[in-house]
């Protein structure tokens, strides 16, 4: 591990010099790539410095304890020695986590899709509740939210919503949310108090930038048409809605939420890039051996990941067996405890896999 850390520390110095080189700065793609690499290894180098300081503090304390000291001073040095040992153990564990293979998408913004599934109007109301939950969580983290497409039911629910969340390491926090979310509650229209079960699917896609991969314009079929639904007089008079088909993969994206054709095309291209990228990543993951996958969940949209039970006021994440009796707080955006538990479980599994490999 320490040979790898020494290499990373050397790479850190090298990257600092390169990103300040005028020739590299002039090459925007290369400069952006190197800056990303630098930002990824900086926490490792900083933690390694803490680890080495703890080692030095231990060595100094032991050296002092070998000398003649008065009782009070010896006790103080012994306390400092114990503190340094604790820091050494903590930083060693944290370094192991930092050295785990990183998801290259963790730094990215996300595009979130929420679709009402089984359950009719109840599913649509639940989709709105999930959208509100993620919106409030984003606001709590000072992330920016932008709705790209929304189809409502007119009854307070939504059939589908696609929105972008921008901020610091958004994908690293929300990537575990992909899957089937299930709600159990008594509908207002249910006279006999029977509990109904409804579902929604959530997909969290990393936003893909131009530097990630290129889409050949010749592979696209772009159709424009008149938007439908709420939006004013322009809806019926202008062909502002855009549908883009990526011919090689068959991926189709439509967008009509913006007023202009140009804005809708830009939004549709963002979604299209993320969908194609997601498919590319899934194809790569399918080539990996099954035992290399984390048991926390791969973000498969068909995987039932969580149940929200209104009568009991509880939320259960089925992947890690976590149950919290704070439904109201969670639906108000307080999902940090769930996300932290998922991150910890994922890290523990990866550490276990690394231990098996050594």
Hey, how many other C-beta atoms are within 10 angstroms of the C-beta on 156? 11
Tell me: pLDDT of 26 over 80: yes
Integer Cα distance of 144 and 124 in angstroms: 24
Percent of the chain, pLDDT > 90? 48
267-278 residue pLDDT tens = 888 888 888 887
pLDDT of 290: 43
Tell me: pLDDT of 301 over 60: no
pLDDT of 201: 93
Cβ-proximal residues to 140 (8 Å cutoff; 6+ apart), any chain: 333, 334
**Cβ 281 vs Cβ 300: under 8 Å:** no
The angle formed by the CA atoms of residues 318, 322 and 327, to the nearest 5 degrees, is 95
pLDDT of 291: 36
Tell me: pLDDT of 298 over 80: no
Percent of the chain, pLDDT > 70? 87
Integer Cα distance of 270 and 254 in angstroms: 11
| Domains detected in the chain | 2-98 (1.20.58), 110-211+297-357 (3.30.70.1660), 217-286 (3.30.160.20)
223-261 residue pLDDT tens = 888 776 544 444 445 677 888 898 888 888 888 877 788
User: Under DSSP, is residue 289 helix (H, G, I), strand (E, B) or coil?
Assistant: coil
Tell me: pLDDT of 71 over 50: yes
**Cβ 124 vs Cβ 151: under 8 Å:** no
* In 207-260, alpha helices (H): 234-237
Question: pTM score, two decimals?
Answer: 0.69
Closest CA to 352 of 272, 294, 270: 294
Tell me: pLDDT of 293 over 60: no
Integer Cα distance of 43 and 46 in angstroms: 5
DSSP symbols for 81-117: HHHHHHHHHHHHHHHHHHTSPPPTTTTS-EEEEEEE-
**Higher per-residue confidence, 37 vs 101:** 37
Integer Cα distance of 174 and 114 in angstroms: 13
pLDDT of 176: 93
Write down the mean pLDDT value for the chain. 85
pLDDT of 233: 41
Interval 153-179 mean pLDDT:
91
81-127 residue pLDDT tens = 999 999 999 999 889 888 887 777 888 899 999 999 988 889 999 99
Running DSSP on this structure, what letter comes out for residue 232? Answer: -
Cβ-proximal residues to 350 (8 Å cutoff; 6+ apart), any chain: 100, 101, 294
Closest CA to 253 of 282, 279, 286: 279
**Rounded to an integer, what is the distance from CA 152 to the centroid of its chain?**
26
Kind of pairing between the strands at 144-152 and 220-225: unpaired
pLDDT of 357: 44
């Amino acid at each position: 591990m320490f040979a790898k850390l020494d290499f990373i520390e050397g790479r850190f110095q090298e990257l600092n010099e390169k990103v300040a080189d005028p020739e590299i700065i002039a090459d925007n793609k290369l400069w952006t790539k190197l800056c990303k690499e630098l930002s990824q290894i900086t926490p490792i180098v900083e933690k390694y410095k803490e680890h080495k300081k703890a080692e030095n503090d231990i060595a100094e304390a032991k050296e002092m304890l070998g000398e003649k000291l008065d009782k009070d001073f010896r006790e103080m040095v012994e306390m400092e020695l114990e503190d340094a040992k604790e820091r050494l153990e903590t930083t060693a564990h944290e370094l192991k986590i930092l050295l785990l293979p990183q998801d290259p998408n963790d730094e990215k913004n996300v595009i979130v899709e929420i679709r009402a599934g089984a359950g009719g109007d109840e599913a649509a109301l639940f989709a709105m509740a999930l959208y509100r939950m993620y919106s409030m969580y984003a606001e709590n983290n000072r992330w920016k939210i932008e709705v790209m497409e929304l189809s409502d039911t007119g009854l307070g629910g939504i059939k589908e919503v696609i929105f972008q969340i921008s901020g610091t390491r958004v994908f690293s926090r929300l990537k575990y949310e992909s899957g089937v979310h299930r709600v159990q509650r008594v509908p207002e229209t249910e006279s006999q108090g029977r509990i109904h079960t409804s579902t929604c699917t959530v997909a969290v896609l990393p936003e893909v930038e131009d530097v990630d991969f290129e889409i050949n314009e010749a592979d696209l079929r772009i159709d424009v048409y008149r938007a439908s639904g709420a939006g004013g007089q322009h809806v019926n008079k202008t062909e502002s809605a855009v549908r883009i088909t990526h011919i090689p993969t068959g991926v189709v994206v439509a967008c009509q939420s913006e007023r202009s054709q140009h804005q809708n095309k830009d939004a549709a291209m963002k979604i299209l890039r993320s969908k194609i990228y997601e498919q590319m990543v899934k194809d790569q993951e399918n080539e990996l051996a099954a035992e290399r996958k984390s048991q926390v969940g791969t973000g498969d949209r068909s995987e039932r990941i969580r149940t929200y039970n209104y009568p009991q006021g509880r939320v259960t994440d089925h992947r890690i067996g976590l149950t919290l009796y704070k439904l109201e707080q969670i639906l108000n955006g307080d999902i940090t405890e769930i996300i932290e538990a998922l991150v910890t479980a994922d890290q523990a599994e990866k550490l276990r896999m690394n231990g098996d490999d050594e």
